[in-house]
Amino acid sequence: MTKQIKQDKACHFCVNNISEVDYKDINTIRRFTNVYKKILPRKRTGMCSWHQRKLATAIKRARTMALLPYTNK
């Protein structure tokens, strides 16, 4: 068996030089939720901790404003 080298994922917002995560930008936010509309963890998305916290806040605000659903059903 050969070892597979794990590639480090880069933070989407750091790579694209986006400083603020906007809750009104639904197309970007939707990328970081799964099919059940749960927030994906950092390990899965490769986000840095600062942007992950900002992303979680933006998703929660978008849910409150009814821009994103709480559940898939």
Which pLDDT score is estimated for 15?
Answer: 93
CA distances from 49 to 7, 19, 52, 69 (A): 18, 13, 5, 24
- Tell me what pLDDT residue 2 has: 61
Which three-class secondary structure string do you get for 35-73?
A: CCCCECCHHHHCCCHHHHHHHHHHHHHHHHCCCCCCCCC
Q: Work out the average pLDDT over 66-73.
A: 86
At 71 the pLDDT is 85
> What does the pLDDT look like over 2-61, one tens digit per residue?
655 556 788 999 999 998 999 999 999 999 999 999 999 999 999 999 999 999 999 999
Query: Tell me, what's the pLDDT at 7?
Result: 61
Hey, what CATH topology would domain 12-64 get? Answer: 30s Ribosomal Protein S18 (4.10.640)
User: 0.85 cut: is pTM over it?
Assistant: no
